[in-house]
Amino acid sequence: MTVENEIEIMGQRLNEKINNMFGRSLHIREVDAGSCNACEVEVTALSNPIYDMERFGVHIVASPRHADMLLVTGPVTRNMELALLKTYNATPSPKLVAAMGSCACNGGIFGDTYASGGGVDKFIPVDVYIPGCPPRPQAVIFGLMVAMDKFEQKIRKTEVKA
Partner 1 sequence: MKSQYVDTIKKEFKEFVIGDPALVNETYLTLKKDTNVMAYVDAIRKEFGGLITGEAVLRNEVYLTIKKEANVKICDYLYHQFNTPLVSIFATDERKTDGHFKVHYVFSCDREDAFIILKINIEEKSPQYRSITSTIPVANWYEREIQDMFGLVPQGHPDPRHLIHFEDWETGLYPLRKDFDIRTKPKRVKGEYVYRRVDGEGVYEIPVGPVHAGVIEPGHFRFSVAGEPILNLEIRHFYTHKGVEKLFENIPFDKAVFLAERISGDNSVAHAVAFCQAIEKIAGVEIPPRAKYIRTILLEHERLYNHLGDIAGIATDVAFAFGAAQANMLKEDLLQLNEYVTGSRLLRGMNTIGGVRRDIGDNKDKILLKLSTFQQEFRKLMELLMETPSVVDRIETTGRIYNDIAKELHVVGPAGRASGIDRDTRRDHPYAAYRELNFKVQAHKSGDVYARTRVRADEVHESIAIIEQALWSLPEGAIKNEVKEIPDGFALGYTEAPRGETIYWVRTEGGRIERCKVRDPSFCNWLAIEYAVLDNIVPDFPIINKSLSLSYSGNDM
Q: Strand pairing partners for 130?
A: 100
State in angstroms the smallest separation of the CB of 66 from ligand SF4: 24
Asked if 143 interacts with ligand SF4 (CB under 6 A), we say no
Strands across the sheet with 58-60, in order? 58-60, 26-32, 69-73, 96-100, 128-130
Binding mask 36-65 for partner 1 (x = CB under 8 A): xxxxxxxxxx-xxxxx--------x-xxx-
Binding partner at 68 among partner 1, ligand SF4, none, C-beta below 5 to 8 Å by kind: none
Residue 77's nearest CA partner among 107, 51, 102 is 107
- Residue 95 φ/ψ, nearest 5 degrees: -125, 160
Residues 6+ apart with CB under 8 A from 123: 76, 81, 84, 85, 117
State in angstroms the smallest separation of the CB of 92 from ligand SF4: 27
Cα distance between residue 103 and residue 108, in whole Å:
4
State in angstroms the smallest separation of the CB of 115 from partner 1: 4
Binding partner at 31 among ligand SF4, partner 1, none, C-beta below 5 to 8 Å by kind: partner 1
Asked if 134 interacts with ligand SF4 (CB under 6 A), we say yes
User: Residue 131, SS3?
Assistant: coil
Asked if 36 interacts with ligand SF4 (CB under 6 A), we say yes
- The helix (run of H) or strand (run of E) holding residue 149 is helix 137-161
Asked if 74 interacts with partner 1 (CB under 8 A), we say yes
Binding site for partner 1 (CB under 8 A): 3, 30-45, 47-51, 60, 62-64, 74-75, 77-80, 83, 86-87, 108-116, 133-134, 136
